[in-house]
Chain A
Amino acid sequence: NAGVMQNPRHLVRRRGQEARLRCSPMKGHSHVYWYRQLPEEGLKFMVYLQKENIIDESGMPKERFSAEFPKEGPSILRIQQVVRGDSAAYFCASSPDGENQETQYFGPGTRLLVL
């Protein structure tokens, strides 16, 4: 059973461009979480999604950030008009339904650098 996949692993964007980060959860997992790791700030929750639904986006910045988890395909975290402060590591995690739903398995992350 493959783990959580994220791509790209590294992404470089210039200010004002768009960044699209993809996350494929583990097989059979329908819960996806996104976290951001900023230098000196640690890991912060951004958004929680189930298939086709955003359940909790209380950690998302109000502007420029959006997330989706379509019926088919990976979850996408989209950042429009990136700024230097968006430079960070973005991690996706997935968890199963039922037993062990509380346990999240993390992907390797996407490291975004905004020039």
Chain B
Amino acid sequence: AQSVTQLGSHVSVSEGALVLLRCNYSSSVPPYLFWYVQYPNQGLQLLLKYTTGATLVKGINGFEAEFKKSETSFHLTKPSAHMSDAAEYFCAVSPRADYGNNRLAFGKGNQVVVIP
């Protein structure tokens, strides 16, 4: 079974500072990797994903993440936090399923607070 670890349920960052959210996964085979963002009372919006190829992936809103197989990690970063980045962020994995079942396993999420 696949699992995802996100440490630190609440993360505070100053406006303009680096945002770093850590994600480690457990899987016998490197899975597909995702970061989603959730604003209050809304659904999940895809920030970025890694499936194959270049291990540094760029997403929306200035976010990027790097897949490191040796560390089983997929940490999310943004060089400069903006007030609008305040939200909950979820790392997720799904199996590389040829038969189509790409069910997601989520981490517990990081609630990001941006301090002016």
CB within 8 Å of B: which residues of A?
4, 6, 31, 33, 35, 42-45, 48, 50, 55-56, 59, 91, 93, 95, 101-109, 111
B53 interfacial contact with A, CB 8 Å: no
Contact of B102 with A104 in the complex, beta carbons under 8 Å: yes
Tell me if A56 and B46 are in contact (CB < 8 A).
Answer: no
- A102 to B104 CA separation, bound complex (whole angstroms): 9
Query: Which residues of the other chain, B, contact A104 by a CB distance below 8 angstroms?
Result: 46, 102, 104
In Å, the complex CA distance between A50 and B101 comes to 10
A52→B94 CA distance, assembly (Å)? 23
Q: Are B104 and A33 in contact (CB under 8 A)?
A: yes
**Contact B51 A102, beta carbon cutoff 8 Å:** yes
Q: A101, B43: Cβ atoms under 8 Å? A: no
A102-B32, A102-B51 known; A107 vs B43 contact (CB < 8 Å): yes
Interface residues on B, range: 20 to 34
Q: Answer yes or no: B17 CB below 8 A from chain A CBs.
A: no
- The contact sample of 27 A-B pairs, CB cut-off 8 A, is A33-B104, A35-B104, A42-B106, A42-B107, A43-B92, A43-B104, A43-B106, A43-B109, A45-B105, A50-B100, A55-B100, A55-B101, A56-B101, A91-B43, A91-B44, A93-B44, A102-B32, A102-B49, A102-B51, A103-B34, A103-B49, A104-B104, A106-B43, A106-B45, A108-B43, A109-B42, A111-B41
